[in-house]
């Protein structure tokens, strides 16, 4: 009974919950619900299954909703919040265009975010507070919605790029100019380059996973080889423990396109670990040797100062131990002692350990006479 109580108490302290509150204006033709899916893989960003829905919440008459979900892990995980039209299956999403009905979120087990949307088109019109990473995702989606889909929304101040926008103002202006002046095909090519730059330079590396998925990773790995290699290096350097970063790296490795820098890390980290172990052991050995020498010198001093009769050191040490002891008193290293006595260094260490055991209790001041040297 006590075990169950302690286990329950431990779980209650270790499990936290993220909270999503929001307000959305849903017109006729929409279910008054919101659904939350967990995205476990890069390939799942734009597909859906009923098993992925981990929570749902009713939208009241004022458009308010709230989702509270307990999560044990503190890792940053991708989720997807979506709405559905009346009659559609709960697991239904639309990708691209005005009907796109979901927003991606990056949450931990301690996240608290607020979402406000002023129409069913909440993909493009929502405002997200409480998470700069989620705000960055929203900005990317607005740009993608304007540039990549056939039924783009018109650009107007109602979609003002807010202070949460992470991508630079110059880049936004350039994208808007491209949208007005060119066709979707050329726009996509240059917009891809800007998004690639954003993925590599954004202060939020995990946002790069979403951009890679939008750019059709892993199906175009060889087409965007250099970009994906650079992105992989960033993931391995900054978020190597992320489940998405590990999957990204594995997909790259399957194609034989893991960058040289990433390959180098597999050698650098083990080598560095071995070097640290060796340095630590060397330091420990030196300190231990210094301690032994100090003890022996103290014993020698006591032996010389003592006028009392007592046990002779020669009676405690063997002939070889006496020779090692004498050389230690001359501040010789293990290697020098081994050379002088024509023995292995390991043999010298064994003698030193035996000497230390025999002479460690010399505080009694009853040991005298000289060490045998012949």
Domain spans of the chain, in order of start: 12-129, 131-258, 282-368
The answer on pLDDT for 260 being more than 60 is no
Q: How far apart are CA 246 and CA 171, in angstroms?
A: 30
- For residues 52 and 262, the model is more confident at 52
**Sequence-ordered list of residues with C-beta below 8 angstroms from that of 319, at least 6 positions apart, any chain:** 372, 374
Domain 12-129 has CATH 1.10.260.40: no
- For residues 228 and 190, the model is more confident at 228
Q: How many CB atoms lie within 10 A of CB 341?
A: 15
Q: Of 157-166, 236-245, 360-369, which gets the smallest average pLDDT?
A: 157-166
Residue 31 pLDDT: 92
Q: Of 59-63, 306-310, 330-334, which gets the smallest average pLDDT?
A: 306-310
The rounded percent of the chain whose pLDDT value lies above 70 is 66
Q: How far apart are CA 268 and CA 270, in angstroms?
A: 6
Residue 15 pLDDT: 72
Residue 186, Cβ density class (10 Å: 0-12 exposed, 13-18 middle, ≥19 buried): exposed
* DSSP-assigned states of every residue in 200-265: HHSS-TTHHHHHHHHTTTTTTTTTTHHHHHHHHHHHHHH-TT-HHHHHHHHHHHHTT---HHHHHH
CA 16 to chain centre: 20
CATH number of 282-368: 1.10.10.10
Give the start-end residues of each E strand in the chain: 16-24, 33-39, 53-58, 64-71, 77-82, 102-107, 112-117, 127-129, 311-312, 367-368
């Amino acid at each position: 009974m006590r075990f169950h109580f302690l286990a329950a108490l431990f779980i209650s302290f270790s499990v936290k919950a993220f909270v999503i509150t929001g307000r959305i204006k849903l017109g006729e033709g929409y279910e008054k619900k919101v659904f939350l899916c967990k995205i476990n893989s890069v390939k799942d960003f734009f597909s859906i299954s009923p098993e992925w829905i981990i929570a749902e919440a009713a939208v009241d008459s004022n458009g308010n909703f709230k989702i509270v979900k307990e999560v044990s892990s503190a890792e940053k995980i991708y989720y997807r919040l979506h709405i559905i039209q009346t009659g559609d299956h709960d697991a239904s999403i639309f990708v691209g265009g005005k009907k796109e009905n979901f927003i991606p979120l990056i949450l931990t087990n301690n996240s608290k975010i607020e979402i406000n949307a002023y129409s069913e088109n909440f993909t493009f019109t929502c405002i997200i507070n409480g998470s700069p990473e989620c705000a960055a995702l929203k900005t990317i989606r607005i740009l993608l919605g304007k540039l990549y889909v056939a039924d783009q929304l018109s650009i107007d101040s109602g979609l003002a790029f807010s202070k949460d926008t992470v991508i630079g103002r110059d880049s936004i202006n350039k994208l808007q100019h491209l949208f007005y002046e060119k066709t979707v095909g050329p726009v996509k090519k240059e917009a891809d380059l800007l998004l690639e730059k954003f993925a590599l330079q954004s202060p939020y590396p995990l946002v790069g996973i979403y951009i890679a998925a939008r750019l059709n990773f892993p199906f175009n790995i060889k087409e965007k080889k250099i970009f994906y290699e650079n992105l992989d290096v960033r993931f391995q350097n900054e978020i190597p423990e992320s489940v998405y970063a590990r999957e990204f790296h594995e997909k790259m490795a399957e194609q034989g396109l893991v960058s040289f820098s990433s390959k180098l890390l597999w050698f650098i980290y083990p080598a560095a670990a071995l070097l640290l172990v060796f340095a630590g052991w060397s330091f420990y050995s030196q300190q231990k040797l210094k301690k032994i020498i100090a003890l022996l010198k103290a014993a020698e001093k006591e032996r010389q100062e003592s006028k009392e009769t007592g046990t002779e050191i020669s009676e405690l040490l063997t002939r070889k131990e006496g020779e090692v002891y004498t050389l230690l008193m001359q501040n010789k290293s293990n290697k020098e002692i081994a050379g002088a006595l024509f023995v292995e260094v390991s043999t010298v260490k064994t003698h030193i350990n035996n000497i230390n055991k025999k002479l460690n209790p010399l505080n009694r001041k009853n040991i005298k006479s000289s060490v045998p040297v012949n």
